[in-house]
Structure 1
């Protein structure tokens, strides 16, 4: 072979090159002599290479698995007729062991312990006087288990009867717990009955299989018992799939085929694939059932953190337990694929770890989102003072942005951890993301400007959700934010989506308080003092009004004479109100001032033009009056 000749040439050249530096060891001479031997060289040329050895190992592995599976199935088939004999022999041994130590038979003791537990549960139900919810039923089962446990551990039992009693008591508790959970789920009566039957058979099968070794039952008979129970479980599963008339016919046939394939995987010893199939079929329904049962057992508010933690946490525990069990099965199953290749093993265990990481990320995100949503649903009207109202407004402004940022952070961090668990080097990804971010920043300076401007607007608390602002030609009520823009609802209906970088100076018209000033023109012969008293009285009436009073900070007052106009005296009025209500209050004040002035003989000024004999002077007077009227109209519009 070529690699043998190359090895021989390399050894020869190395020996020649170092001959002058140090004496050659004897082992090197022996190796060179062996390689020069014609028989050794002939055997090395005919020896199989590494690839053929690997193929032979794979073939040997497949043959070993096929032979082990065939022998296992043959042993199970041959052991089926011996199941009654093995069972009776184990029962006689257990009975004899119990009687030899002066104890009652195991079956009688089991019935007695069950009776004690049921009596304690009945007493607990009488004390509680109600046991309707799942929480009450679970508490009753806990009392049942505690009573049996106290009696069981109060006596010294022989070894074999003790194991049998313990296993069957645990099986009874497990079945009662599962049955209570099934009762709490929103299921039809027929589906509930089938689920309880399946759970009962599964619990008995697990208990019987676990008692095989302690009772000295032949392992082949134990496997045969498990095989018979597996056929019963398969029949129940197929019957449940066929009888579910609400599903289409194709779905029912697919479910039956899937159940048969999963059962066949268990029969041939492929436990890893078997549990994968079980989880694929049962996990969605189990997760829905777990969430409903947890919500039924602990009825908290729908959006409360406790409810989210309980429902999501219970589902996460179910998925994590499934992942841990699958990892244990892969670890201890010699026929598992993860033992054949280290790459497959790394990917498989990485996927299981990734499931746990995603569960933790999902739980953390839903907890944070529920807290943020609850804070956003708090009504600002519940605040008792201005500081609390301002804090609520600031929270309603900042929390939606924080929620979006948190969602992105959780998704990115969880994704990086998952890639790391799958064996992907995330260092280059992070470095590449940094370079891409720099390039994106240079290429989208406007976007960066909008985002940075928005951050500083929020840090300065320039505006909040629900406030009315004006910036350049945009004005309206702030309805919401994104990372780069603000959404303004104009008082006439249109919606402006304005990038933060386009806002500039912001005029906030809804912060803290508003001073509203307006003017009223009265005739020159009006009584100013009387007008002042009337204005004060109107202000007190508005302040005492149950609808308008809470909107005032300072009542309506007349400031005095503002100026002498062309047609009358200009009186100035002012009031301080909460933001956004000044226009509504001013309209009410206008109506009351009109009625009060009219009832008390105070006339409003009206434009008038006096025309003299001189035509030129009269024309000039008319032009002056027109210009004055136009100027006042422009001022009032401004």
Structure 2
């Protein structure tokens, strides 16, 4: 608000100068002057004097560059000569504006301006009293909208004098734009010193634009209006340089470079090279503006990665770039006498470059939307534990195909955007496409292995041979599928190593994770084991595992004992089997081992273990002999030496 008041004070000083201007000439003299200016002889004499005052073009300066240099030099000389006329012309314009208002019974313009601003501030104050203050962009823009709306109602409801209407409209618009810029700066994450200097700079620019806009309606000569703009530009240049030195934490050489760049931009503007001037402004300020707009747009969405978040953030940035391109095209179009407009090739390249920027922005926007959708779909399809097998298989299929589709889409978007950009720049893309086709055939003959890998990968995907997350084995390679490229598959071995295998090297693929898995294992028990009792206990274990909250959903068929597999040297080998979801059989088998051991031992079923029998029929002879040997060793140790 303090900067708004400062800006308002500056405007009031300007209108005070209007009020203090000398009294206008009498109406009779003005009518006489108008009558003389309409006389044909007087007009012919003025035209001859105008042509005599135009600098002649020498034969050596017939080139475009020489003509532009001569015109620029003449313009600079004329503006420099018009600077001393600023006070007089300013006073005359103030007199005309004041006379236009007072002669129709209105107050001086600066009083009308102050009254309208006071009315807007009162309306804004009342709005703030009845509304909840929010430190967001909308919360800061709403009071400014009330302020502008209150002034607009009164401004358009009253039939102001012509000159007063122009002056009020220019300065009120400048004041409103200044406050809108201040609201954006306060909503953005900008340090207070930089924000205050930016507001001061914007205030000076707004005042300069409004002053230049009312020059022609108030009868100020164009050269004097340009001289006033040049004086404002010097003030703006000084403020910009001071802002760089006071707020930037960069090194001294960087600050010197920015200062030199600003000075060059000012010289470019003085030479009426407006297109080049705005390109320099964009190079300097557009990255920071895009970052600020992106942060402001992100405040309107809770999830920047969602479709709505990408649409808002990327859309806002694309809109800023489109507005910048449109403004640059308008500036170029409104300056037909600039040096660049004289060269048709340069004009074609300029407009082609602008169209290319828009094409790249649109391509990037569409690509970001598509990539965001693919990334979100990949995140959603990761968790398949709570789904039925059909839905889980469908999600696994998505996880397999979406990365390939994303890569292919990126290539298509990049190629199409590149071709359209080349076409806008004047390049004939027909021969380029034909040459690329011939070059592609040559590359195809020279890289048959690469073509084989790509085509093999396409058919593997069409056959749905494997998906991301499945465990496969092909030749000497086995592991979990982690991802794809256009020519290879990445396998993670269960011990950690990663294999990157070209599709052409896979051959027959053994998929160990598709649909269901039958897991079989064996347990050896003693020869005295009751087989029927073991079968019933196993059935009980299978029922308990099936009813478990964690393990039950992983079973397709419960654990069962198939029967006696064989008679081993130390016991009876029993065979067990169960059907589970892919990838979880090892985990379930460990749980089954623990349950079977616990139940078998609790019910007197012992597990077989290797034994060795020494001697013949006397099974206790070995033990007696060992005991005798130990007794003899003990007596020998206690005997006296």
Short-chain TM bin: 0.7 to 0.9
Q: What corresponds to 2:539 in structure 1?
A: 536
Q: How many Å apart are 1:609 and its aligned residue?
A: 9.6
Q: What corresponds to 2:16 in structure 1?
A: none
| 1:221 aligns to 2:224 (yes or no) | yes
Q: 2:453 aligns with which of 422, 433, 450?
A: 450
Q: What corresponds to 1:328 in structure 2?
A: 330
**CA, structure 1 residues 426+237, in 2 after alignment: closer, same or farther (shift >3 Å)?**
same
Q: How many Å apart are 1:491 and its aligned residue?
A: 0.7
CA distance in 2, matches of 1:293, 1:610: 86
| 1:339 aligns to 2:324 (yes or no) | no
**CA, structure 1 residues 64+469, in 2 after alignment: closer, same or farther (shift >3 Å)?**
closer
TM-score by length of 1: 0.81
Cα-to-partner distance string for 1:49-94 (whole Å, 9 max, x where unaligned): xxxxxx9585365554444334433332333333233333333333
> Any conservation in 1 of the 2:100–2:161 contact (CA below 8 Å)?
yes
Q: What corresponds to 2:305 in structure 1?
A: 303
Q: 1:236 aligns with which of 224, 230, 239?
A: 239
Q: What corresponds to 2:630 in structure 1?
A: none
Cα-to-partner distance string for 1:309-349 (whole Å, 9 max, x where unaligned): 33333333333333333333333324323332222222222
CA distance in 1, matches of 2:263, 2:605: 99
Q: 1:389 aligns with which of 388, 392, 404?
A: 392
> Any conservation in 2 of the 1:125–1:131 contact (CA below 8 Å)?
no
CA distance in 2, matches of 1:157, 1:455: 75
Give the secondary-structure state (helix, strand or coil) at the position aligned to 2:519: strand
> Any conservation in 1 of the 2:65–2:339 contact (CA below 8 Å)?
no
Q: 2:362 aligns with which of 360, 363, 368?
A: 360
| 1:580 aligns to 2:583 (yes or no) | yes
**CA, structure 1 residues 575+139, in 2 after alignment: closer, same or farther (shift >3 Å)?**
farther
**CA, structure 1 residues 385+211, in 2 after alignment: closer, same or farther (shift >3 Å)?**
farther
Q: What corresponds to 1:143 in structure 2?
A: 146
**CA, structure 1 residues 104+561, in 2 after alignment: closer, same or farther (shift >3 Å)?**
farther
| 1:548 aligns to 2:538 (yes or no) | no
Cα-to-partner distance string for 1:189-216 (whole Å, 9 max, x where unaligned): 2211111111111111111111111222
| 1:593 aligns to 2:615 (yes or no) | no
Q: 1:481 aligns with which of 484, 492, 506?
A: 484
Structure 2 unmatched runs, 5+: 1-57, 617-641
CA distance in 1, matches of 2:579, 2:83: 95
Number of equivalences: 558
**CA, structure 1 residues 384+139, in 2 after alignment: closer, same or farther (shift >3 Å)?**
farther
Q: How many Å apart are 1:498 and its aligned residue?
A: 1.0
Q: How many Å apart are 1:487 and its aligned residue?
A: 0.8
**CA, structure 1 residues 522+257, in 2 after alignment: closer, same or farther (shift >3 Å)?**
closer
| 1:161 aligns to 2:164 (yes or no) | yes
CA distance in 2, matches of 1:506, 1:62: 72
Cα-to-partner distance string for 1:138-181 (whole Å, 9 max, x where unaligned): 23323333333333333333332222222222212211111122
> Any conservation in 2 of the 1:380–1:393 contact (CA below 8 Å)?
no
CA distance in 2, matches of 1:559, 1:139: 78
Q: How many Å apart are 1:295 and its aligned residue?
A: 2.8
| 1:268 aligns to 2:266 (yes or no) | no
Q: 2:420 aligns with which of 405, 413, 417?
A: 417
**CA, structure 1 residues 62+425, in 2 after alignment: closer, same or farther (shift >3 Å)?**
closer
Q: What corresponds to 1:89 in structure 2?
A: 92
Q: What corresponds to 2:406 in structure 1?
A: 403
Q: What corresponds to 1:11 in structure 2?
A: none
CA distance in 2, matches of 1:247, 1:596: 75
Return 307-316 or 603-612, whichever deviates more.
Answer: 603-612
Question: 1:113-152 residue pairs with structure 2 within 5 A?
Answer: 113-152=116-155
Question: 1:166-181 residue pairs with structure 2 within 5 A?
Answer: 166-181=169-184
Question: 1:426-575 residue pairs with structure 2 within 5 A?
Answer: 426-523=429-526, 525-562=528-565, 569-575=572-578
Structure 1 unmatched runs, 5+: 1-54, 614-638
Q: How many Å apart are 1:565 and its aligned residue?
A: 6.2
CA distance in 1, matches of 2:459, 2:131: 59
**CA, structure 1 residues 525+102, in 2 after alignment: closer, same or farther (shift >3 Å)?**
same
CA distance in 2, matches of 1:274, 1:575: 77
Give the secondary-structure state (helix, strand or coil) at the position aligned to 1:504: coil
Q: How many Å apart are 1:226 and its aligned residue?
A: 0.6
**CA, structure 1 residues 139+393, in 2 after alignment: closer, same or farther (shift >3 Å)?**
farther
> Any conservation in 1 of the 2:524–2:572 contact (CA below 8 Å)?
yes
Cα-to-partner distance string for 1:512-554 (whole Å, 9 max, x where unaligned): 3222222334445433332222112212222333333332233
> Any conservation in 2 of the 1:536–1:556 contact (CA below 8 Å)?
yes
Give the secondary-structure state (helix, strand or coil) at the position aligned to 1:380: coil
Q: What corresponds to 2:251 in structure 1?
A: 248
Q: What corresponds to 2:626 in structure 1?
A: none
**CA, structure 1 residues 397+261, in 2 after alignment: closer, same or farther (shift >3 Å)?**
same
TM-score by length of 2: 0.80
> Any conservation in 1 of the 2:273–2:339 contact (CA below 8 Å)?
no
CA distance in 2, matches of 1:421, 1:58: 34
**CA, structure 1 residues 502+62, in 2 after alignment: closer, same or farther (shift >3 Å)?**
closer
**CA, structure 1 residues 487+70, in 2 after alignment: closer, same or farther (shift >3 Å)?**
closer
**CA, structure 1 residues 590+59, in 2 after alignment: closer, same or farther (shift >3 Å)?**
same
CA distance in 1, matches of 2:297, 2:493: 46
